[in-house]
Chains A and B, each alone.
Chain A
Amino acid sequence: MLAEPGRGSRIVARLASLLLACLSGLAGAQAAATEPKVLRFAFRSVETGFDPQRVDDVYSSAVCNEIFEPLLEFDYFARPAKLVPGVAVAVPAAEDGGRTYTFRLKPGIYFADDPAFGGKRRELTAADAAYAIKRLRDPRNRAPYAWLFLNNLTGLDELHDEALKSGKFDYDRPIAGIEVVDRYTLRLRLKDPDFTFLYRLTLPQTAPVAREVITAYGEDTMSHPVGTGPFRLAEWTRRQKIVLVRNPGYRGLVLDTTYADPNLPEHRQVIAELQGKTLPQLDRIEIYPMDTDQPRFLSFMSGAHDLIQELPVSFIGEAVPAGNLAPALAAAGVRKQQVVDTSVWYAQFNMEDPVVGGYTPERVALRRAIAFAFDRDQAIAVLEKGQGAPAYGPIPPGVVGYDPAFVTDQMDYDPARAVALLDMYGWIDADGDGWRDQPDGAPLTIDYMGTAGSATRHYAGMWERSLRRVGIRLQARAVQFSDQLRDRKAGKYMMAAGAWTADWPDGQNFLALLYGPNAPDLNDTRFRLPAYDRLYERSLQMPDSPERDLLYREMTRLMLVYAPWRLLTYRKWTHLNYPWVLGYMKHPMYQTRLLYLDVDPVARRRAQAN
C-alpha cells in the first residue's frame, strides 16, 4: 500500500516541478530565439516567373515585389494608399507643370549576391532604374506592361520603333525622356503633363534590375531574380512551390507609423506587434500556388498554412457564417479582415453595336432599362455570398477620387422603371411572341458574352432570368479567355462581363476605360462622348485636388446617364490569419507585403499541440 506523501514532500515536488517548468521555459525561449521564422500560405492561382519586366499576372508580380524594389511604394497604413519612397530618397515633386520628375536614389542599397556580379557587392544605381524602364519597351522582351511607358517618355517610343526595324534595342543611347544625371539621380521627362505618372513607378514591373544579371541569364531570367528587396528566391518548383528566404544583404527597415491611425484597432495591433523590430522578421516563406479552392481552404483550416488570403466565396459559409468567424476559428484566435478590393465589376455594352450601342434616346433607354432589370442585391447575396458592395460609380473605395457620399438610384433594381422605359421608347412586343422587339419591329435578342467558368455562368443565368422578367430575350455564350479578348478588341459582342482592378489608386486608372481615344484597346466598350473626353483631358492636367474630384464626379454622372456599363459590385475579400502571424494587414494595392509580417513559432507550436 502506498503511503500518502507528507506536506514536506509535496512542497519539494512542487518546487521541483516549478524548477523544471522554468528550465523548460528557458530552453523554449532559447529555441524560439534560434528557431527560423517560417510562414506558409497559398496563392489562389499559379505564377509564371520572376523577371519583373516580363510578367503580368498578379502572383508573379507579388513575388517580384518581395524580391525587387521599385522607386516608390505605398505606405503600409495609409488609406487611400499613399505614395512613399521605395529605393528613392523621396517622392519627387512634379516639375515643369507635371512634365518632369527627378528621382534621387538612396545610396548604399545593394543587390543580393549573385555569381553574375563576379563576387563583388553590387550597388543599385540610377542606371539600373533607367535600364528597367527601357527593358519594358525592348520588343524582344514582349513585356506585358510595356504600356506603362507607351507614348509618355520623350524619345522612348522612337527608340522602340527603331528596335523594331533593326531587331536590336540600343540601351546605351541617351534619350531626353530618361536621363541618368549621376550615379544616384534619374530624371524622367514626359511629352505631356501627367500628374498620375509617379504611380507607374510603384509597380514591380518598373523595379530596377542589374543589367549584368539579365545578360548572364539570357532567356532564363524568369527563374533567376536578383533584386535589392528583403527576400530572395531560394527554391522554385514551377506552379507548385515558391520558397523565399531573407536576403542577408538587405539593409533592414523599421516600421514607419507616420500614416498610422491610432484610433484604428488594427493599426494599433500592427504597431504593437512590429514596433522596435528590424524588418523583415521572416526567415523563410513557403508559397503554394493552388488552382482550386478546397485544398487551399483545408490547408489553412488544418493549420498547415498560417494565413489564407481571399477566402474562397464557396467557403464563406463555413468560415465566416453571417459575417462572424466560425466558433472553432474564433476559439483558435483566428483574426479576420474584410477589405474592399480596388476593383470594379460590371456588365459592359458595345457602344458601336447597332442594337444596344449608340447615343440616341431609345438606345440609352434600352441600356438603362437593362440596368434597372438586373437584381444586383440578389446577385451579391446569392452569387457573391455577401462578398461584394454595390457599385455606384466606376471608381472603387480606396482609390483617390472615390466619393463615399455619391449614391445613385440609376443602378437600383427597379423592373417597373425598366418596363416603363422600354414601353415609352418603343421596345415593345410587336409580333405577339411574348418577347419585346426593336422599335422598328425587328426581333430583339441580347447576346451576353462571358468567359467559361462557373461564376460567369451563374451571372449569365441571373442576367437571363432578370431580362426575361421584363420581356427581353438574352442568350449567353461562354468563350475562352483569348476568344473573349479577340471579340472585345474586334467589337464583336453586344454585352459582356467586365472587371477592372486598379494598377494604381487613382480614379484616372478607371475613368480611362471610357475615354474615347483609348478605344478600342483600353476602352473596349468603345464609349465615345466628347463631353466625357473633354473632362478627362482636363483632369489629366490637374494634380490630386477637390477640383479634379469634381471632374471625376461629372464623368461618373455622364457614365450613369449614357449607361455604357451596368455597374455591379466592388469586390470584398475576407482574409484570415492565425494569431501567431504578426503584423498582418492586407494592403489593397499589394497581394502580399511580407516585409511587414512576423511569425511567433512558439505560439504556433503551442496552439498546434493543443
Chain B
Amino acid sequence: MGAYIARRLWQTIPTLGGVILLVFILFNWVGGDPALVLAGKVPDPAQIENIRRQLGLDQPWWIQLWIFVGQVFTFDFGRSWSTNQLVSEVLLTRVGPTLTVMVPMLVLETLLAVALALLVAYVRGSLTDRTVMFLTTVAMSISFLVYIIVFQWLLGFRLDWFPVQGWSNDLWTNLTVYAPLPVLLGVLVSVAPSLRLYRSFFLDEIGQDYVRTARAKGLAENRVMLRHVLRNAMIPILTYVGIGLPGLFVGSFLLEVFFSIPGLGREVIESVNRSDFPVIKAITVYLAIVTMSVNLLVDVLYRVADPRVSFK
C-alpha cells in the first residue's frame, strides 16, 4: 500500500505540471488584459504601462511562467490585484464559510440518498418506487436558481423560518442560523440525481447470485440489504461521492451569492469579474491539488469498503 501511495504521489507531479501550463495559457493568452481593468475610468497609456510593469505582465512569457511555478511550490501567490489582500489570506478566510455549508450538505445528501435509494430499490416497481422516481425526475428538471429564488422567498421571507441571508463570525451561529436554508436547498437539488444513481447500484447488487443465495439460506431481508447489498454497492457510491468531494472546497457560487456567504465560490466569480488573476490562479491550482488528493484518498478507501480490492 505504501508503494502504491508513493507511486500515486509521484504521478501527481506531471499532472500538476499540466495544470500549471493550462492555467498559465488560459490566463495569459485567452484572458483579457487586467491592466485595462485596473487602470480605472480614464486609462492613459502611461498608467496602463506602469500597471503592466508592476504586475510583471511586461515580462517574457517564460519568466512569467517560471514565477508562476515558483508561486505554486511556495504557496505564495502574492497579493490580490483588486483588493491588495494576500492571496493566502483570501483562501484561508474563504474556505471556512464554504466548508460550513458544503460539508453538512454532502453528509446529509449522501445519507438521505443512500437510505432512500436502498428503500426504493427494495420496493422496486411499487407505487412508492414509481412516485419517488417521478418526483426525482421533476426535481432534476428544475434549475437550481429556481429553487433558490422560490425557497428564499417562501421559507426566508414569507414564512420567516430562516433568515433571508447573512453570515456571522461565529461557527455555531452559522451552522444553526445562517447555513440551514442554503444546506436544505443544496440537499434538495443534489439528492435527486444521487438517489437515482444509487438506486441503480443497489438494483445491480440485488440481482446478483450472492443475494439469492443469502435469501435461500434464510437470512432476514434487512440483513441481506444492509450487510450484503449496501456493502457491495459502497464502491460505486464512494467513487461518486469522491468525484464530488473537490467541489466541497469551491462551494456553490449560487448559494454563496444569494445568501451572502463569504466563501470561495463567490470569490472566484468576483475575481473573474475583476481579472484578479493571482486569486483565480491560486484557487485553480489549489483545486487541482485537492482533486488529486481526494482521488487518492478514495482509492485507499476502496480497500476499507471492500477487502477484496488490492493495490497494484
Contacts and interface: CB of A to CB of B under 8 A. Distances in A.
Contact of B82 (A48, A289, A294, A483): A48
Interface string B233-276: 00000000000000000000000011111100011011001110
B101 to A, nearest CB: 13
Nearest to A291: B257
B153 A146 contact: no
A46 B40 contact: no
B167 A482 contact: no
Interface residues of B, number: 50
Given A145-B40, A298-B157, A521-B45, A222 B169 contact: no
B45 A142 contact: no
Contacts of A222: 83-85
Interface stretch (A233-241, A386-394, A465-473, A528-536): A233-241
Question: Among B34, B39, B84, B152, which residue has the most Cβ atoms of chain A within 10 A?
Answer: B84
Given A222-B85, A290-B260, A481-B273, A237 B167 contact: yes
A362 B93 CA distance: 59
A144 B38 CA distance: 7
Interface stretch (B7-15, B115-123, B125-133, B158-166): B158-166
B228 to A, nearest CB: 48
Given A49-B83, A237-B262, A486 B43 contact: no
Nearest to A484: B32
A54 interface: yes
Interface in B20-42: 31-34, 36-42
B164 A144 contact: no
B50 interface: yes
Interface in A153-180: 164
Given A49-B84, A222-B84, A240-B262, A56 B40 contact: yes
B156 interface: yes
Contacts, number: 126
Given A46-B270, A481-B37, A482-B32, A292 B262 contact: no
Interface string A123-153: 0000000000000000110111111001000
Given A222-B84, A292-B258, A482-B32, A239 B270 contact: yes
Contact of A144 (B34, B40, B83, B165): B40
B1 interface: no
Interface string A410-437: 0000000000000000000000000000
A294 B44 contact: no
Contact of B84 (A54, A295, A299): A54
Contacts of B165: 288, 290, 295, 298-299
A125 B113 CA distance: 67
Contact of B40 (A147, A164, A240, A290): A147
Contact of A489 (B43, B79, B82, B262): B43
Given A147-B47, A295-B260, A522 B83 contact: no
A433 B59 CA distance: 50
Contacts of A290: 165, 260
A238 B270 CA distance: 12
Given A145-B40, A147-B40, A239-B266, A485 B32 contact: yes
Given A48-B274, A147-B41, A291-B266, 20 more contacts: A48-B82, A48-B83, A142-B54, A147-B42, A147-B43, A147-B44, A164-B46, A222-B84, A222-B85, A237-B169, A237-B262, A238-B83, A238-B85, A239-B266, A292-B257, A292-B258, A298-B153, A298-B156, A302-B160, A481-B273
Closest 10 CB pairs of A and B: A144-B40, A482-B32, A240-B262, A147-B42, A295-B165, A485-B36, A298-B164, A298-B157, A483-B32, A139-B50
30 contacts: A48-B82, A49-B85, A56-B40, A140-B54, A142-B38, A142-B54, A144-B39, A144-B40, A144-B41, A145-B41, A220-B84, A237-B169, A239-B266, A240-B167, A240-B262, A288-B165, A290-B165, A295-B259, A298-B156, A298-B165, A302-B157, A302-B164, A481-B273, A482-B36, A482-B37, A482-B275, A485-B37, A489-B36, A521-B44, A521-B45
Interface of B: 31-34, 36-47, 50-51, 54, 79, 82-85, 93, 149, 152-153, 156-157, 160, 163-167, 169, 257-262, 266-267, 269-270, 273-275
